[in-house]
Amino acid sequence: MIGEDDVRHVARLARLHLEQDEVGRMTGELARILAHIDKMSELDISAVPPTAHVLDVVGVTRSDRVEPGLSREEALRNAPAVVDDCFRVPKMG
């Protein structure tokens, strides 16, 4: 059974800030989703291979040939801040 601590943990992993009333609401909603999953677990699927993808196809690959990408100007256009031709981000570590 999912509890408020689980919800806070998952929210933290996803970098979501939840107010106390939201934690309560999410706990209820997630519990209902998990109950639905549990319901499906009642099915006997021992003969069904795990599904990795909804499409029953296998992957294609590309050859190892360089194609033009973005210019540096284009690449950096969406950066909130640029220093020394790099994306500037808050200090790490």
Partner 1 sequence: MTGGDAAVRGADRIVRGMRGDWEAVIGLEVHVELDTATKMFCSCAVTKGDPPNTHTCPVCLAHPGALPVVNQRAVEYATRIALALDCTVPPRNVFHRKNYFYPDLPKAYQISQYDEPLAVDGCFDYWSGDEKLRCRIDRVHMEEDAAKLIHAGGETGRITGSEYSLVDFNRGGTPLVEIVTEPDIPSPAAARDFLQQLRELVIELGVSECNMEEGQVRWDANISVRPAGSSTLGTRTELKNMNSFRFLQQALESELPRQVGILEAGGTVEQETLHFDPETGTTTPLRSKEEAHDYRYFPEPDLVPLAMDPAWVEEVRASLPELPLARVARFAEQYGLSRADARVIAGPGALARFYEAVVAQGVDPKLAANWTMGEYLAHLNAAGLEPGHGHVTPERLAALVRLVADGVVSTSAAKDVFTKMIEERAEPAAIVAKHGLGRISDSAALGPVVAEVVAANPSQVEQYRGGKRQVLGFFVGQVMKATGGRADPAVVNELLQKALDG
Please give the Cα distance from 81 to 67 (Å, whole number): 27
Nearer to partner 1, 20 or 61 (CB): 61
Please give the Cα distance from 1 to 20 (Å, whole number): 19
Interface residue with partner 1 among 1, 37, 48, 83 (CB under 8 A) is: 83
At its nearest, how many Å lie between partner 1 and the CB of residue 23? Answer: 18
Residues 6-45 that bind partner 1 (CB under 8 A): 9, 13, 15
Instruction: Spell out the residues 6+ positions from residue 24 whose beta carbon is closer than 8 angstroms to its own.
Output: 4
Nearer to partner 1, 35 or 75 (CB): 75
Could you give the dihedral angle defined by the CA atoms of residues 66, 70, 72 and 75, in that order, rounded to the nearest 10 degrees? -130
Residues binding partner 1 (CB under 8 A) = 9, 13, 15, 52-53, 55, 57-67, 69-70, 72, 75-76, 83-93
